[in-house]
């Protein structure tokens, strides 16, 4: 099976940097995804890591360490619109992974002025 | 390029009824997955279809079923609705599970069972 943990809530100030951590235990690993979800809206894809290291995309970066079962999402130059839930999700391997992402409970980020 | 389209957006049903939700994937995407999202359980995987075949299924009772058509559009059906089935139902499309792509989600169908 798979288990994914991430903090429930975080707060930060506009213009600052915030790091959202995600740890996972999985019987097979074929990639880790980060999604952003505003209340009442669809999750939107932010990043994908399958190899160790840092992936940078504009103000967002994601890091993966497969040996530690650990990832983080780094958000820089925070804006009010970044207030949302951030979901960490893992894809497994083999037939039981088809189309299936196992999600953490999500981290609700609140950005204050 | 059109995104993933889910209909209807909102639905209110009575306990015991059945409901059918629809999902049209991004053009060219052949994999459609369905998820249930609730405040308590988060996003839970229901099932996945690829080329009209169910390839994977989550841990939901048999009241939850689905199908996929030759144009990749998918439907999911919930029979004998229970209050606990109230949730946001999301579908996600992908070129295929083996591809190194993210899954694109639709805006969901908000189902309320009364």
Q: Is A57 strand, coil or helix?
A: strand
Please provide residue A81's backbone torsions phi and psi, each rounded to the nearest 5 degrees: -70, -10
- What band does B99 get if pLDDT is binned at 50, 70 and 90? low
Q: CB–CB of A101 and B32 under 8 A?
A: no
What lies within 8 Å, CB to CB, of A102 at 6+ separation is A2, A4, A26, A89, A90, A91, A92, B45
Cα of A6 to nearest chain B Cα, Å:
12
Q: What span, in angstroms and rounded, lies between the C-alpha atoms of B57 and B45?
A: 8
Cα of A112 to nearest chain B Cα, Å:
24
Q: What span, in angstroms and rounded, lies between the C-alpha atoms of B69 and B54?
A: 11
Strands A107-112 and A9-13: parallel
Residues in chain B with CB shorter than 8 Å from the CB of A34 are none
Please provide residue B6's backbone torsions phi and psi, each rounded to the nearest 5 degrees: -120, 135
Q: What is the mean pLDDT of residues A65-75?
A: 97
Q: Is the dihedral of CA A3, A22, B86, A96 positive or negative?
A: negative
Chain A contact for B42 (CB, 8 A cutoff)? yes
Mutate to test the interface with B, among A2, A98, A108 (most CBs of B within 10 A): A98
pLDDT score at B40: 86
pLDDT score at A87: 97
pLDDT score at B101: 66
Nearest to B97 among A98, A103, A105 (CB): A98
Residue of A nearest to B46 (CA): A100
Cα of A53 to nearest chain B Cα, Å:
16
Question: Is there a contact between A76 and A63 (Cβ–Cβ < 8 Å)?
Answer: no
Nearest to B43 among A48, A95, A103 (CB): A103
pLDDT score at B71: 95
pLDDT score at A98: 74
In the Cβ-directed half-sphere of A18, how many Cα atoms lie within 13 Å?
A: 22
Q: Is the dihedral of CA A87, A91, A95, A98 positive or negative?
A: positive
Question: Is there a contact between B46 and B61 (Cβ–Cβ < 8 Å)?
Answer: no
**Phi-psi category of B108—alpha, beta or left, where left has phi over 0 and alpha has psi -120 to 50?**
left
Q: What is the mean pLDDT of residues B17-38?
A: 95
Q: CB–CB of B102 and A48 under 8 A?
A: yes
Nearest to A7 by CA among A85, A82, A59, A101: A85
Q: CB–CB of B103 and A33 under 8 A?
A: yes
What lies within 8 Å, CB to CB, of A81 at 6+ separation is none
pLDDT score at B97: 54
Q: What average pLDDT does chain A have?
A: 93
Q: CB–CB of B103 and A45 under 8 A?
A: yes
Q: What is the mean pLDDT of residues A11-36?
A: 94
- What band does A79 get if pLDDT is binned at 50, 70 and 90? very high
Q: What is the mean pLDDT of residues A48-71?
A: 95
Looking up tokens 């299936």 gives: A100
Interval B39-68: pLDDT, tens? 888 999 999 999 999 989 999 999 999 999
pLDDT above 90: residue B6:
yes
Residues in chain B with CB shorter than 8 Å from the CB of A99 are 31-33, 45, 47-50, 55-56, 92, 94, 97, 103
Chain B contact for A3 (CB, 8 A cutoff)? no
Q: Which two tokens stand for residue A6?
A: 């991430």
Looking up tokens 């908000």 gives: B110
Which segment of A94-98, B2-6, B13-17, B42-46 scores lowest on mean pLDDT? Answer: A94-98
């Amino acid at each position: 099976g798979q288990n994914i943990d991430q903090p429930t809530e975080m707060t930060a100030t506009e213009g600052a940097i915030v790091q959202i951590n995600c740890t996972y235990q999985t019987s097979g690993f074929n990639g880790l995804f980060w999604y952003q979800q505003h209340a009442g809206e669809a999750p939107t894809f932010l990043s994908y890591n399958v190899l160790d290291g840092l992936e940078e995309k504009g103000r967002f970066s994601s890091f993966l360490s497969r040996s530690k079962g650990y990832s983080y999402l780094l958000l820089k130059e925070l804006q009010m619109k970044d207030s949302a839930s951030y979901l960490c999700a893992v894809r497994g391997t083999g037939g039981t992974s088809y189309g299936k992402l196992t999600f953490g409970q999500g981290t609700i980020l609140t950005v204050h002025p | 390029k059109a995104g993933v389209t889910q209909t209807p957006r909102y639905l209110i049903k009575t306990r015991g009824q059945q409901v059918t939700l629809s999902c049209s994937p991004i053009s060219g995407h052949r994999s459609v997955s369905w998820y249930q999202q609730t405040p308590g359980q988060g996003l839970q995987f229901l099932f996945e279809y690829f080329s009209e075949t169910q390839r994977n299924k989550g841990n939901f009772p048999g009241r939850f079923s689905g199908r996929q058509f030759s144009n990749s559009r998918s439907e999911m059906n919930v029979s004998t609705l229970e209050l606990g089935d109230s949730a946001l139902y999301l579908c996600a499309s992908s070129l295929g599970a083996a591809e190194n792509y993210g899954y694109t989600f639709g805006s969901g169908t908000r189902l309320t069972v009364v």
